[in-house]
Amino acid sequence: MTDPITALRARRVWDSRGVPTVEIELTAASGARGRGIAPAGASTGRREALELRDGGDVLGGRDVSMAVRLAEEIVAPALVGLDVRDQEAIDDILARLDSVDESPRGRPVGGNTTTAASLAALHAAAASRGVPAWAVLDPSPHAIPRPQIQILGGGAHAAHRTAVQDFMVMPLSAVTIQDAFLHVAEVYRTVGEVLAGRGPRRGVADEGGHWPEVSGTEDALDVLIEGIERAGLEPGVDMAISLDIAATQFAGPDGYHVQGRTLRTAEWIAELHRLCEKYPIATLEDPAGEDDLEGMQLAVANTGERTTVVGDDFLVTDAHRIAFSAGEQAVDAVLIKVNQVGTVTGAARAVAAARAHHLGVIVSARSGESEDVSVAHLAVGWGADIVKVGSITRGERTAKWNELIRIDDALGGLGLAATVRPIAGKQA
């Protein structure tokens, strides 16, 4: 059965930083509806799909009135009549509308619009079939992705208070999602106590992690370890640390700018290597800048079997870059963000490329988010190893974690995915 799209409605809604974003709602002939809201990054890679924003003075140039208008004028007529269940056909059109060469009037509609429309199509297809969105992708998932949860925010999400962007934890000994969150919530609380013991608390960063009142990366890691132990958990056994270095943010042509020093690639990676030896760091995301292939390769070669090197800005959810980077041994796992590539199908191809090259898969939200819970469905439906949506506070984060809990419940209580996949480049 097909279920043709009959209407597309676009509107300006708001994200977790008080910035406008695009929401799209699709309706099909059966009456099925689906909605999607585009998220937004703060530390974006230069190869990401480009958001369309108005520019000018209003709202710092970040309004989306033009994107909303183009969605109704250009995207709506292009999608109406297509089968809402045919995600690939819809996404193919969306990708064309966002290309300079193929878009009508030579004006790309914007990755924010294509992302919102593509997610809306996924949800409308689910409604059309009468199943949850995860079931459109995989009717019988066998595990729930392991949550990776921010405890301290840094980098571009905390006014560059620390160079490193994300200090996260990942439950290791927990076998169910409920146990995982019990462990993480306890660590969030105890880390708060550790910080309170050092002076006034400073609130939270963009993704809900504690604002890092610390002297630098090692101090932040010591705070995490102290919090894990205070929670009665064993670092590296019950709870691992995950870092998103987001090194593109402080990489320059002359090297990496960290705490008043400029380090060459080899020196910087050696410093990270030392941290990986000293602390139980399970995953290390973007240790090198988005153009530093050698830095990523060094990280993969140096950090040993215990640490999985993840590509985010370095890969931008691009299937070709993933295949290339796998061949170059530049990553062990890939971060998947739908809005980096602009469509669900583009991201699904990136997941397939990762699996074809035996790389781990982490499905991730952005630092600017909304109540949209698509990421939980995508992570389960794509069989991701890990899911990352920020901290365990703030509604736009808990919306996704709580959806993951509901999905697990609907599936009868699946176990969590194995911690890290076997990693091709590191087995020797």
Judged by the rule CB under 6 A, the positions of this chain that interact with ligand PGA are 41-44, 156, 165, 244, 246, 312, 364, 366-367
Which of 175, 134, 91 lies closest to 383 in space, CA to CA? 134
- Please state the closest distance from residue 286 (CB atom) to Zn ion, in A: 5
Q: Give whole-number Cα distances, 132 to 34, 85, 138, 327, 380, in Å.
A: 11, 13, 10, 36, 11
> Binds 29, which of Zn ion, ligand PGA, none (CB < 5 to 8 A, cut-off by type)?
none
Phi, psi of 169 (to 5 degrees): -125, 155
> Binds 391, which of Zn ion, ligand PGA, none (CB < 5 to 8 A, cut-off by type)?
none
Q: Does 98 bind Zn ion (CB under 5 A)?
A: no
- The catalytic position among 337, 388, 400, 426 is 337
Quote the CA–CA distance of 156 and 44 in Å, as a whole number. 10
- Please state the closest distance from residue 367 (CB atom) to ligand PGA, in A: 3
Quote the CA–CA distance of 368 and 205 in Å, as a whole number. 11
Q: Does 312 bind Zn ion (CB under 5 A)?
A: yes
User: Closest residue to ligand PGA, Cβ-based?
Assistant: 41
- Please state the closest distance from residue 142 (CB atom) to ligand PGA, in A: 26
SS3 of residue 76 by DSSP: helix
- The catalytic position among 207, 285, 369, 403 is 207
Q: Does 206 bind Zn ion (CB under 5 A)?
A: no
Identity of the residue, 124 or 335, whose beta carbon is nearer to Zn ion in the bound complex? 335
> Binds 307, which of ligand PGA, Zn ion, none (CB < 5 to 8 A, cut-off by type)?
none
SS3 of residue 36 by DSSP: strand
> Binds 41, which of ligand PGA, Zn ion, none (CB < 5 to 8 A, cut-off by type)?
ligand PGA
> Binds 44, which of ligand PGA, Zn ion, none (CB < 5 to 8 A, cut-off by type)?
ligand PGA
Residues near 357 by Cβ (< 8 Å), separated by ≥ 6? 322, 323, 326, 327, 424
Residues near 131 by Cβ (< 8 Å), separated by ≥ 6? 139
User: Closest residue to Zn ion, Cβ-based?
Assistant: 312
Contact 282, 420 (CB under 8 A): yes
**Stretch (H or E) spanning 374:** helix 374-381
337 is catalytic: yes
SS3 of residue 252 by DSSP: strand
First to last CA, the chain: 50
Residues near 197 by Cβ (< 8 Å), separated by ≥ 6? none
Identity of the residue, 87 or 364, whose beta carbon is nearer to ligand PGA in the bound complex? 364
> Binds 21, which of ligand PGA, Zn ion, none (CB < 5 to 8 A, cut-off by type)?
none
388 is catalytic: no
The residue range among 193-201, 305-313, 322-330, 375-383 that interacts with Zn ion, by the rule CB under 5 A, is 305-313
Q: Does 244 bind Zn ion (CB under 5 A)?
A: yes
Residues near 364 by Cβ (< 8 Å), separated by ≥ 6? 312, 335, 336, 337, 375, 387, 388, 389
- Please state the closest distance from residue 84 (CB atom) to Zn ion, in A: 32
Identity of the residue, 144 or 164, whose beta carbon is nearer to ligand PGA in the bound complex? 164
Identity of the residue, 74 or 373, whose beta carbon is nearer to ligand PGA in the bound complex? 373
Q: Give whole-number Cα distances, 280 to 39, 98, 147, 224, 358, in Å.
A: 31, 42, 17, 11, 23
Identity of the residue, 132 or 360, whose beta carbon is nearer to ligand PGA in the bound complex? 360
Q: Does 369 bind Zn ion (CB under 5 A)?
A: no
Residue numbers at the binding site for Zn ion (CB under 5 A): 244, 285, 312
List the catalytic residues.
207, 337
